[in-house]
């Protein structure tokens, strides 16, 4: 990590003095998610990729709805109702 030399430190782990942990499961899950997302750019890349995929699917849906409305004569108002719902973050 960051170019420093690393060494392993071996030790014998003793049994927990206070018995079982009293931390709730949700708090432990929160700690684990913090540990995963704090030291990696992978979650940000996954969220960005997911956003682009979702936006692409939405764009395809808009194009299909417009095509159906203009050339096939689909139900009037279908495209105008469908388009805001397919783009994330846009509400009608």
Q: Is the pTM of this model over 0.95?
A: no
SS3 at position 92 = coil
- In order, the DSSP letters of 2-33 are TT--------PPPPPTT-S----HHHHHHHHH
For residue 81, the model assigns a pLDDT of 62
For residue 9, the model assigns a pLDDT of 92
- Burial of residue 86 (CB within 10 Å: 0-12, 13-18, 19+) is middle
Q: What is the pLDDT along the chain (92 residues), one digit of tens a residue?
A: 567 888 899 999 888 888 887 888 999 998 888 887 777 788 788 888 998 998 888 888 878 877 877 888 766 665 566 556 555 555 54
């Amino acid at each position: 990590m960051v170019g420093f030399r690393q060494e392993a430190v071996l030790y014998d782990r003793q049994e927990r003095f206070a018995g079982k942990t009293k931390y709730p499961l949700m708090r432990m899950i929160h700690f684990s998610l913090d540990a995963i997302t704090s030291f990696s750019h992978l979650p940000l890349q996954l969220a960005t990729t997911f956003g682009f995929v979702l936006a692409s699917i939405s764009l395809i849906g808009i194009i299909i709805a417009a095509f159906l409305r203009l050339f096939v004569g689909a139900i009037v108002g279908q495209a105008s109702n469908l388009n805001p719902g397919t783009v994330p973050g846009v509400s009608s």
